Amino acid sequence: MSRALLVVLLVGLGLVGGCGTPDDETTRPTRTATVAPQLPENLPQLPVGTGDVAPGDAVHARGPLLMVNGRRIRLAPLRADTVAVVKGGVFFLNDDELWFTDLDQARPTGFDQVSSLVASEDGRWVAFVDRGHGPKDDHGTPLALVLAYDAQTGKVQRATYEGMGDPATDDLAARYAKSAPAVLGFDGKTMIVRGVDGVHRIPLEGGEPA
């Protein structure tokens, strides 16, 4: 075999090898779509009231006492750690439990793993972070669910997991320890929420979160 023919054969074999299956550097990874967790159904409806209290009133919590315009409302054996004033009543946290009072009686809401309770300035909306109804991660920590309710009807206005992490891949307890989910307040018909990845604006009457 001549030297020229050998060179041609070697080059030909090299070209064949180069046209085979791509190596790891050229193989593109398969994209996988992330499916958002399904929102829970049949969430509790919140109580509403017609008590003599409204946003702008002087409302303060002192353990088992709720002070409303100088009036002392006894909550014992409950206590009010955080309050949110709406038209006709006051929502409050007793530890992690969400309660409501129309100043005559205190009523449970059905939520017992709650944080970050906030009412809108006009008392139309009340929002909080629920830690009891979301899907759990591999360590048993539920995904935080942000809920906004119409305080006049007691019905859910908006429910979202936006910015709360991914139970399929995250250690939620670790992420929440670094950045605790919270409702920061309202801007008109928009709820401002802090998630594990920053601040999100959640429209209350439709539209995509930002």
What is d(CA 55, CA 122) in angstroms, rounded to the nearest whole number?
6
Residue 10's SS3 state is helix
| Backbone torsions φ then ψ of 68, nearest 5 degrees | -125, 110
Q: What is the pLDDT of residues 90-122, one digit of tens each?
A: 999 999 999 999 999 999 999 999 999 999 999
Q: How far apart are CA 202 and CA 158, in angstroms?
A: 8
Please, which residues bridge with residue 198 across strands?
A: 195
Q: How confident is the model at residue 184 (pLDDT cuts 50, 70, 90)?
A: very high
Whether residue 7 is predicted with pLDDT greater than 60 in this model: the reply is no
Is it the case that residue 25 has pLDDT exceeding 70? Answer: no
**Beta-strand pair 89-94/106-108:** unpaired
Alpha helices in 98-204 (DSSP H): 172-178
Helix, strand or coil, per DSSP, at residue 94: strand
Residue ranges covered by each domain of the chain: 42-203
SS3 40: coil
